[in-house]
Amino acid sequence: MIEVQSLHKSYGSINAVNGVNFDVNRGEILGFLGPNGAGKSTTMKMITGFVRPTSGIVLVDGLNVQDHPVAVKERIGYMPENGPVYGEMTVEEFLIFIAEIRGYDDPTIREDKIDHACDLCRLNKVRHQSIETLSKGFKQRVGFAQAILHDPPVLILDEPTDGLDPNQKKEVRKIIRTMAKDKAIILSTHILEEVHALCSRVIIIAKGEVIADETPESLLKRNPKYNALKLEVKDIDLEVVRETLKELPEVSSAEINEGAVEIYPKNKQSIESLVLKVCRDKEWNISHFEKTPVGLDEVFWELTK
């Protein structure tokens, strides 16, 4: 649905985006991760046709953005960063404006589209309020409503949950998930948990280049503590436990740390059942056993530092 081929953008001597390649299919939610100034927003703006690339090609539904800007924009729903909207308009007026520009000239169809977007984004109770008087969460939802109004096959969301409280974030993610089935979605975010909760694929971009393009799960595997275990046992010397577990062929290393044994598997394979079996065979008295929690934070830090 979206194909990005060796995309470059430079501002004077600064290379904002430097040879980015990727594609997104229907049904995929692509998470765009990267430090501030990495080129995420610029890449998104080039896909939407707002920023002209220095070189490279963007195809949306097979159409080149440079050659068919209007046709491409018809297929895209875009929510810019910070959801800029015309604050002096009411939510309804604003959505009517968007619907008119999107070519819904028939008032009945227009009304249906607006009703649907308002229902989905829970905007009904503020429909007649001017946008500048709304809270940040509602403003964000208005920005979201305009992006999905025409039910586009491609959604591009620049930090859609930025500045929202945890409940609002949850709601926005829910909406995105419900729409994911038949759309190609790109969303940028700083929030790593969001990527894990929402995206089927992740691209990490740093200094204008793609440095990782994989599933959130395989990205997690890059964490050195992936599938590592933490074991606490009573009435036995921890050194004995460590030595025993270290001897297992599936274990790469074991260390004692703060009264617990940390066990790292070879090839990041799952070893819970194996370790539990050893504990049972040796009749160790387990007081605590857990899989070491791993996040994308360490991976992200490692890749972008």
Contacting residue, 27, 37, 87, 107, with another protein by CB under 8 A: 87
- Where do runs of H (alpha helix) occur along 85-237? 91-101, 107-120, 136-148, 166-179, 192-198, 216-221
DSSP H helix total and E strand total for the chain: 11, 14
d(CA 141, CA 26): 23
DSSP SS3 for 304:
helix
C-alpha distances out from residue 19 to 15, 23, 38, 53, Å? 10, 13, 13, 11
Contact code string over 117-146 relative to another protein, x by CB under 8 A: -------------x---------------x
- If the CB atoms of residues 100 and 243 are measured against another protein, the closer one turns out to be 100
Contacting residue, 22, 32, 78, 300, with another protein by CB under 8 A: 78
Contact code string over 145-174 relative to another protein, x by CB under 8 A: -x----------------------------
Smallest distance, another protein to C-beta of residue 154, A: 12
Contacting residue, 67, 100, 239, 255, with another protein by CB under 8 A: 100
Angle ∠(232,237,241) on CA atoms, nearest 5: 60
- If the CB atoms of residues 42 and 161 are measured against another protein, the closer one turns out to be 42
Contacting residue, 10, 54, 64, 82, with another protein by CB under 8 A: 82
Smallest distance, another protein to C-beta of residue 225, A: 41
| Residues in contact with 60: Cβ distance below 8 Å, sequence separation at least 6, in sequence order | 1, 2, 47, 72, 75, 76, 154
Angle ∠(240,246,249) on CA atoms, nearest 5: 140
Smallest distance, another protein to C-beta of residue 156, A: 9
Smallest distance, another protein to C-beta of residue 88, A: 4
